[in-house]
């Protein structure tokens, strides 16, 4: 679905799955600084929007998801996951309730599968689920905040919020903050413990939900098998690592290939930090080791502690 903001002068479209919105408007570093300073917005209208209505919506979502939603106050934004029975992330979305409807947005193209899953879980409860992307759109605001606006109003936003900045500015700020995009910075084996989502999208003091056993066991008794890192990439290389490309330990032997230790998620050029990326790597990789991300040298910044889990493990006498 294309956005009317792509018609603005200088707009350049991005890469999949973000090709429907502007990556930038011709001044990449300046746009990042404007996003930090405020009085601007980001077109995120390619994201899918889902509504859940009905008097049972919050208690129902509370029982299904990783988040404590039963008494969610109107206007409070939250992050939510749906897990497999093995604790792997299947769906992720941001949401807010307005007192009558829970509004959620998820990755481009992920909305139909989310609606299908939720519809299967309704049973006899008083809830209705709908995909409303054709009518509603997400916009990003400074500080990684967001709002939903009627899609028909997007062309009027510059008059209200200032000229937009491109998605690349938003992505650079997001990667700097270490916030993952589900399906881009995760794979089909990812558990929340590996990517810094405990306490963010996973409430650690709520009752049972699908996949909770894995999350709780890893949190209290063991360390996650992999961990999220932010990579500070070699700025002398003229390309960013491709999404999904290998992260390797450089070979120490002549002519030998390096050991694959993880994968690259998303990457961006930050106006102060230079090229950066998120990656998921094996837990036991030395945090001080220099890595290669799609052949680009990179230093690690720890986002998920390699010893996560040990800090809360009970002491046995």
Q: Is residue 67 part of a domain?
A: no
Is the model's pLDDT at 117 over the cut of 60? yes
Q: Do 149 and 281 fall within a single domain?
A: no
Domain with residue 287: its CATH number is 2.40.30.110
Instruction: Say if 37 falls within a structural domain.
Output: yes
What tens digit of pLDDT does each residue of 283-304 get?
999 999 999 999 999 999 999 9
pLDDT over 90, % of the chain:
85
pLDDT score for 257: 64
Structure confidence at residue 309 as a pLDDT band (50, 70, 90): low
pLDDT at residue 315, as a whole number:
43
**173 lies in the same domain as 238:** no
Residue 124 lies in a domain: no
- Into how many domains does the chain fold? 2
Cα 74 from Cα 100, distance rounded (Å): 9
pLDDT in tens, 226-267: 999 999 999 999 899 999 999 999 877 655 568 999 999 999
pTM for the full model?
0.94
Indicate if 231 and 298 belong to the same structural domain. yes
Residue 257 makes CB contacts below 8 A (sequence gap 6+) with 248, 251
Phi, psi at 43, each rounded to 5° = -75, 110
- Do 229 and 294 lie in one domain? The reply is yes
In a domain, 238, yes or no: yes
What is the CA angle 49-51-53, rounded to 5?
Answer: 175
Are 232 and 163 members of one domain?
no
Range of the domain at 234: 225-304
Flag whether 27 is in a domain. yes
Least confident stretch, 93-107, 129-143, 215-229: 215-229
Distant-in-sequence, close-in-space partners of 309: CB < 8 Å, separation ≥ 6: 193, 218, 219, 220, 221, 222, 223, 224
230 and 287: one domain? yes
Calculated CA dihedral for residues 226, 16, 173, 4, nearest 10 degrees: -150
Dist CA 108 CA 93 (whole Å): 11
The answer to whether the beta carbons of residues 30 and 172 sit under 8 Å apart is: no
């Amino acid at each position: 679905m294309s956005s009317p903001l792509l018609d603005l002068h200088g707009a350049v479209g991005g890469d999949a799955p973000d090709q429907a919105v502007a990556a930038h408007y011709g001044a990449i570093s300046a746009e990042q600084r404007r996003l930090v300073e405020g009085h601007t917005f980001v077109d995120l209208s390619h994201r899918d929007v889902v509504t859940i209505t009905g008097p049972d919506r919050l208690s129902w979502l509370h029982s299904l998801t990783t988040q404590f939603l039963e008494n969610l106050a109107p206007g409070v934004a939250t992050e939510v996951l749906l897990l497999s029975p093995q604790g792997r992330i299947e769906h992720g979305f941001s949401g807010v309730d307005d007192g009558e409807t829970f509004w959620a947005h998820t990755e481009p193209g992920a909305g139909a599968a989310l609606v299908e899953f939720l519809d299967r879980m309704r049973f006899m409860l008083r809830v209705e689920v709908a995909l409303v992307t054709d009518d509603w759109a997400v916009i990003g605001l400074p500080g990684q905040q967001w709002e939903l606006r009627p899609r028909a109003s997007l062309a009027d936003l510059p008059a209200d919020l200032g000229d937009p900045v491109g998605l690349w500015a938003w992505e650079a700020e997001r990667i700097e903050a270490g916030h993952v995009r589900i399906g881009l910075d995760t794979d089909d084996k990812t558990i929340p413990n590996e990517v810094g989502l405990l306490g963010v999208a996973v409430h650690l003091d709520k009752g049972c939900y699908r996949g909770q056993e894995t999350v709780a066991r890893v949190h209290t008794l063991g360390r996650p098998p992999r961990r999220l890192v932010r990579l500070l990439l070699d700025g002398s290389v003229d390309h960013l690592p491709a999404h999904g490309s290998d992260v390797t330990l450089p070979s120490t032997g002549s002519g030998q290939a390096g050991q694959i230790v993880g994968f690259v998620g998303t990457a961006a050029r930050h106006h102060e930090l230079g090229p950066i990326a998120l990656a998921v790597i094996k837990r036991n990789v030395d945090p001080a080791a220099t890595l290669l991300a799609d052949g680009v040298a990179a230093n690690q910044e720890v986002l998920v502690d390699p010893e996560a889990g040990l800090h809360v493990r009970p002491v046995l006498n």
